[in-house]
Amino acid sequence: METFFPQFLQQLINGLSLGAIYALIAIGYTMVYGIIGMINFAHGEIYMIGAYVGLVTLTAIGTAAGYPPWLLVVAALAIAIMVTSTYGWAVERCAYRSLRGSPRLVPLISAIGMSIFFQNYVVILHSSRDLSVPELITGRLFSMDMGGFEVSMSNSRALILIVTVVLMVAVTLFIRHARMGRACRACSQDIRMAGLLGIDVNKVISFTFILGALLAAIGGVLIGLSISKINPFIGFLAGIKAFTAAVLGGIGSVPGAMLGGALLGLVETFASAFLPTEYKDMVSFGLLIVILLIRPSGLLGRPEVEKV
């Protein structure tokens, strides 16, 4: 029991930084679901494309050129945000917009098609092998010895946490106060009425996809820098887990996505500390099924009322 507390602390740090990434992706799921009521299945792939664009940028600039690491990180983030949000916008424009108003199954199948397409698109372009991301952010923020067990937090994990918290605050403030944020909330309450009152619904939906892709791209670049390994299949699993996080927090609710992401990250790290690692992914799938059984509206969501 001596090492229990330090071990717990270490898992807490790991879990929160993993959960931060899930939360970043989950916001994209939850906002799109809140407004047009579809599961954007291709969102995980958008995150993966973000990680790849970040790596392409880093390799194009060259890590040996002598630029300071923070400048490289900022450049990778900036380019990844720009390209990935364009991908997010284009996906909505090409694959979903003309399907609005058709039965629920139709856009969902289109989204699955988009997800398969992007996965193989990246496989063909950059091969399916693991690519290593240069370690730009080295060192540890702190490291302390607690009764023979070392508790530490690397700078890259710290960066994930700080960036995520800043983004969460920014997104919350934006949705609460900005004109576009208000329009988003109006659309999620009643999209047809919002359209009648003069809100450009198409613009709001496009904006939702762009915002979701932007956050996912940041998550992709940061996770690449932190675990320094990416492949074209990271989006699939991360996407499902982020969706689980969104459902856990209550789909359609932005604070719910943040809470759900953090919780899922914690559950997963604690589970992998006590279970064989192969079963780590099963925990989150099992959790998803259990939540849907016990409380389908999630922790912060409101139960859905069917309208005729």
Q: List interacting residues with other proteins (CB under 8 A).
A: 38-39, 49, 52-53, 55-57, 59-60, 79, 82-83, 86-87, 89-90, 94-95, 98-99, 102-110, 112-122, 124-127, 129, 131-132, 134, 236, 240, 243-244, 247, 276, 278-279, 281-282, 285-286, 288-289, 292-293, 296, 304, 306, 308
Give the Cα-Cα-Cα angle 252, 77, 253 (nearest 5 degrees). 10
Question: What is d(CA 159, CA 68) in angstroms, rounded to the nearest whole number?
Answer: 16
Question: What is d(CA 291, CA 302) in angstroms, rounded to the nearest whole number?
Answer: 14
Which pair of tokens denotes residue 199?
């809100």
65 or 105: whose CB is closer to other proteins? 105
3-state secondary structure string across 57-101: HHHHHCHHHCCCHHHHHHHHHHHHHHHHHHHHHHHHHHHHHHHCC
109 or 144: whose CB is closer to other proteins? 109
12 or 56: whose CB is closer to other proteins? 56
Which pair of tokens denotes residue 45?
């792939």
Q: How far is the CB of 132 from other proteins (least distance, A)?
A: 7
30 or 115: whose CB is closer to other proteins? 115
37 or 195: whose CB is closer to other proteins? 37
Helices (H), 92-200: 105-126, 155-177, 179-189, 191-196
Q: How far is the CB of 289 from other proteins (least distance, A)?
A: 6
Q: How far is the CB of 81 from other proteins (least distance, A)?
A: 11
Which residue do the tokens 């139709």 mark?
A: 106
13 or 118: whose CB is closer to other proteins? 118
Question: What is d(CA 83, CA 276) in angstroms, rounded to the nearest whole number?
Answer: 38
Residues 6+ apart with CB under 8 A from 206: 89, 92, 93
35 or 151: whose CB is closer to other proteins? 35
Q: Enumerate the β-bridge partners of residue 146.
A: 149
134 or 255: whose CB is closer to other proteins? 134
Give the Cα-Cα-Cα angle 134, 139, 144 (nearest 5 degrees). 145
Q: How far is the CB of 295 from other proteins (least distance, A)?
A: 11
Find the helix or strand (DSSP H, E) in which 200 lies.
none
Q: How far is the CB of 304 from other proteins (least distance, A)?
A: 7
Question: What is d(CA 262, CA 170) in angstroms, rounded to the nearest whole number?
Answer: 17
Q: How far is the CB of 165 from other proteins (least distance, A)?
A: 28
Q: How far is the CB of 172 from other proteins (least distance, A)?
A: 26
140-146 and 149-154 as β-strands: parallel, antiparallel, unpaired? antiparallel
Q: How far is the CB of 8 from other proteins (least distance, A)?
A: 27
Question: What is d(CA 223, CA 259) in angstroms, rounded to the nearest whole number?
Answer: 19
